[in-house]
Amino acid sequence: MVYCSIRMDVLTSLNPSQREAVETTSGPLLIIAGPGSGKTRVITNRIAHLVTSCGVSPSNIMAVTFTNKAAREMRLRIQEIMGSACAGLTVGTFHAICCRILRTDGKAVGLSPGFVVYDDDDQINLIKQTLQELKLDPKQYSPRSIQSSISAAKSRLLTEQTHAESVSSYFEEIVQRVYQRYQSLLSLSDAVDFDDILLKTVHLFQANPDVLARYQEQYVHLLVDEFQDTNMAQFELVKLLAGKHRNLCAVGDPDQSIYSWRCADVRNLLSFNNEYPDATVVMLDQNYRSTKTILKAATQVIASNTLHKEKDLWTENAEGKPVVMSECLNEKDEAQKVIAIIDKLVQRDGLSYGDCAVLYRINAQSRALEEGLMRFGVPYRLVGGTRFYRRQEIRDIIAYLRVVHNAHDSISLARIINTPGRGIGQGTLTRLQTRASENGESLYDALSYTAKRTDLAARASNALSRFLALIDGIIERSQELALPELIEEILVRTSYRAYLMERDDGEDRWENVQELKTVAADYADLAPREALPMFLEKVSLVSDTDEMNGASDVVTLITLHQAKGLEFPAVFMIGMEDGVLPHRKSFDDPAAMEEECRLCYVGMTRAQKYLFLSRAHRRNLFGNGLANPPSRYIERISPDILTARGLWGEDDVDLSGALYTQPLAYGVSDEEFRVGDWVYHKKFGQGVVMDCFPDKNDLVITVSFEDSGPKRLLLSLAHLDKIERFDSMP
């Protein structure tokens, strides 16, 4: 009876397309899900329907997402529908699920159950070490470019051996040499990088039919969200797992494919019917998120793309306010206009700061916004800034934990060997790394050998011996300590707090370490041998958006790429200029230009009630003042839904010049200036006010003069007169 009541709840709350997607349970199924169309609702209800109506065991279902945050939300929604009936269900990211598979069966591809996962920083450090060993100049061969090339090769399922067959240039030859040594060093450290997790799982299945058959038998139904973001390795993995029962449900939208730089291939979704000719296709075209106006504007922008999948998006939501287009002088003008409108939304329309998000194409655009928000005291969070798990002190403690878990993790051992300082210099570390390289061993093996030598200088020998004893002692204690206690043991034995307190920001950094202990408390009830690897895996696979705290009442600053999957009542898209969005690097590549358009579409469809677009006539980026034309996407929006007037009329928010809303001087001028005002100076002539900020009892005002360029002046001494633009001056 419980199952029947759940089944009725599942089906009666769905629209006809959603219900069709839920009830199509046999064979391949492709769900084209427009933005805000309730695809997560469909996936979760489909899982509930499979269990409650079709009698499928939860242990026979796998649901794959692209972020830990999405996986958590999906799991919570399923629990709300099914309660304890969902026990045994597999929900997670590709990487998390494949990690579990490799920890169980990875021995067949040369991995121990305790392998470590190297994150982006670890990979770059290992490539730098490889370049040093191969005597290649990192200034000539960028470690980042080489890492990207290796990642692309692995996403195409090319190992260090098979990649050699595709080498066609000198740079690719360099990549090949680095790739081979890089993989050797990973193996010595019993480590994998992100791409290895997928690559080795595919190779595990391909080379071991018995292992594949076991997982195929277990996972009768496979559901994959954001299918347009899969790469070749992920698609091959999906095909292998679904190879027996063919109950594959792929959910995605080609118009939201924006990760080609991560090797995502939208063709996986577009060619789904070629791979599965008998697939059922369901179109989710009702939008529950945005107003009619926002949806219409976004549809007009994306309609010109050639890889656009035709779908007639519609919504029962209100018509809504027009899309607001703001013309700004520069990026500071733009930032202050955004802040002024956010203030109006909070004061007049009852929104909170947390309801507002500012989206931009590149991270550098956040600088002017951050400065403005700090100046006006508006709370904000910067997604993709220095993330918690990327802070120096956190990475130090995690490196200790990783060495405790796997002493052969050479990258982590190199990080902590002299942190805090213990008299082991770079020269000693280089000698250890050279020995490890020459003997095909890990850094820990080299340390163990060298620390026992009698021909070393006493100081170096004693320092290495003490460090080895420290690590071995912590490893021994780790067998009996709960995870929070293990962290405390590391902090005490290394005197890490005293090390932090030598810095001016030591208290703040120590608070971060204490916060890490708070996170570790979630693993306190697990056995030590189980808790540590689970914690380290979680830390390695966390992403920017996973760390977002949705409850905070702060304005969100986030790139368009990171904003995918999120939604906000009010969205500000800044930098709507050709050269910024679309990015100038895409101009000569038609495929890249199509993706830029999809990126704009994704940004616009994050908005629920209000959408603001802005462009600057002149923008300073990377030290250059760029005068860009308006973004080509603006002209695609019909004039009847695009306005420059604002939401409340010109008297309420003056989008043509409402920038600095407080008096600029403290008794030094009878006249109030605003950024954007035209002024006259006896020496420099006519100019426009670009910026202003307090300086003791005066104000510094920046004016861009027509003939002599920008000048920073003290307002009390400048003797500026406010003028109309074309006044004739004596």
Tens digit of each residue's pLDDT (9 = 90 or more) over 696-721: 566 778 787 777 777 878 887 888 88
Q: Which residue has the higher pLDDT, 654 or 454?
A: 454
- Measured CA to CA, the distance from residue 698 to residue 415 in angstroms comes to 48
What per-residue confidence (pLDDT) applies to 36? 95
599 contact partners, CB below 8 Å, separation of at least 6: 258, 361, 560, 561, 581
- Measured CA to CA, the distance from residue 322 to residue 639 in angstroms comes to 10
Instruction: Give the end-to-end CA distance of the chain in Å, rounded to a whole number.
Output: 91
CB-based contact 670:681 (threshold 8 Å): no
- Measured CA to CA, the distance from residue 553 to residue 352 in angstroms comes to 6
Beta strands (DSSP E) in 454-554 are none
Q: Which helix (H) or strand (E) holds 237?
A: helix 232-241
Query: Please, which pLDDT band fits residue 653 given cuts at 50, 70 and 90?
Result: very low
Choose the weakest-confidence range: 96-105, 113-122, 287-296, 567-576: 113-122
> Over 80: is that where the pLDDT of 350 sits?
yes
| Average pLDDT over every residue of 534-559 | 77
- Considering the candidates 402, 598, 606, 609, report the single residue annotated as catalytic: 606
What percent of the chain is predicted at pLDDT more than 70?
89
Whether residue 547 lies in the annotated active site? no
Cα–Cα distance list, 547 to 68, 158, 382, 630 (Å): 10, 32, 11, 34
Whether residue 52 lies in the annotated active site? no
What per-residue confidence (pLDDT) applies to 665? 33
| Average pLDDT over every residue of 606-633 | 85
Pairing status of strand 678-681 against strand 721-723: antiparallel
Residue 169 identity: S
User: Mean pLDDT, the chain, as a whole number?
Assistant: 87
What per-residue confidence (pLDDT) applies to 505? 80
Pairing status of strand 607-616 against strand 568-573: parallel
| Count of Cβ atoms closer than 10 Å to residue 503 Cβ | 13
Whether residue 711 lies in the annotated active site? no
What per-residue confidence (pLDDT) applies to 503? 83
Q: Which of 492, 479, 487 has the alpha carbon at shortest distance from 519? A: 487
- Considering the candidates 18, 19, 39, 605, report the single residue annotated as catalytic: 39
| Average pLDDT over every residue of 414-432 | 92
Whether residue 606 lies in the annotated active site? yes
- Considering the candidates 52, 234, 256, 556, report the single residue annotated as catalytic: 256
Residue 709 identity: G
| Average pLDDT over every residue of 234-261 | 95
Q: Which of 184, 201, 219 has the alpha carbon at shortest distance from 99? A: 201
What per-residue confidence (pLDDT) applies to 502? 87
CB-based contact 490:396 (threshold 8 Å): no
What per-residue confidence (pLDDT) applies to 712? 78
| Count of Cβ atoms closer than 10 Å to residue 248 Cβ | 23
Q: Which of 1, 14, 200, 242 has the alpha carbon at shortest distance from 102? A: 200
Whether residue 133 lies in the annotated active site? no
- Considering the candidates 119, 195, 226, 334, report the single residue annotated as catalytic: 226
The DSSP symbol for 359 reads E
For residue 28, say if its preceding peptide bond is cis, omega within 30 degrees of 0.
no
Choose the weakest-confidence range: 153-157, 272-276, 634-638, 706-710: 706-710
What per-residue confidence (pLDDT) applies to 545? 58
664 contact partners, CB below 8 Å, separation of at least 6: 672, 673, 674, 692, 699, 701, 715
Is the dihedral angle over the CA atoms 130, 135, 139, 145 positive or is it negative?
negative
For residue 710, say if its preceding peptide bond is cis, omega within 30 degrees of 0.
no
What per-residue confidence (pLDDT) applies to 634? 95
| Average pLDDT over every residue of 295-302 | 96
What per-residue confidence (pLDDT) applies to 37? 96
| Average pLDDT over every residue of 124-148 | 93
| Count of Cβ atoms closer than 10 Å to residue 492 Cβ | 10
| Average pLDDT over every residue of 49-75 | 91
- Measured CA to CA, the distance from residue 52 to residue 54 in angstroms comes to 6
Q: If 0-12 CB within 10 Å is exposed, 13-18 middle and 19+ buried, where does residue 267 land? A: middle
Angle CA 610–257–575, to nearest 5: 45
Query: Please, which pLDDT band fits residue 662 given cuts at 50, 70 and 90?
Result: very low
598 contact partners, CB below 8 Å, separation of at least 6: 255, 256, 257, 258, 302, 305
Q: Which of 94, 56, 79 has the alpha carbon at shortest distance from 221? A: 56
What per-residue confidence (pLDDT) applies to 207? 97
Query: Please, which pLDDT band fits residue 254 given cuts at 50, 70 and 90?
Result: very high
Highest mean pLDDT among 2-11, 136-145, 206-215: 206-215
| Average pLDDT over every residue of 209-234 | 96
Task: Give 3-state DSSP helix, strand, coil % of the chain, rounded to 5.
Answer: 50, 15, 35
> Over 70: is that where the pLDDT of 385 sits?
no
Q: What is the pTM of this model?
A: 0.80
Q: If 0-12 CB within 10 Å is exposed, 13-18 middle and 19+ buried, where does residue 618 land? A: middle
2-9, long-range: CB within 8 Å, 24+ apart, which pairs? 2/85, 3/51, 3/52, 3/53, 3/85, 4/52, 6/48, 6/52, 6/81, 6/82, 6/85, 7/48, 7/49, 7/52, 7/53, 9/81
- Considering the candidates 190, 195, 225, 595, report the single residue annotated as catalytic: 225
CA max distance for the chain: 92
| Average pLDDT over every residue of 70-93 | 88
Highest mean pLDDT among 7-11, 94-98, 308-312, 373-377: 94-98
What percent of the chain is predicted at pLDDT more than 90?
61
Choose the weakest-confidence range: 25-34, 533-542, 669-678: 669-678
- Considering the candidates 40, 90, 180, 280, report the single residue annotated as catalytic: 40
Whether residue 256 lies in the annotated active site? yes
| Count of Cβ atoms closer than 10 Å to residue 504 Cβ | 8
Q: Which residue has the higher pLDDT, 196 or 676?
A: 196
Highest mean pLDDT among 290-294, 312-316, 425-429, 514-518: 290-294
Cβ-count burial 53-85 (b if 16+ within 10 Å, e if not)? beebebebbbbbbbbbbbbebbbebbeebbeeb
Query: Please, which pLDDT band fits residue 80 given cuts at 50, 70 and 90?
Result: confident
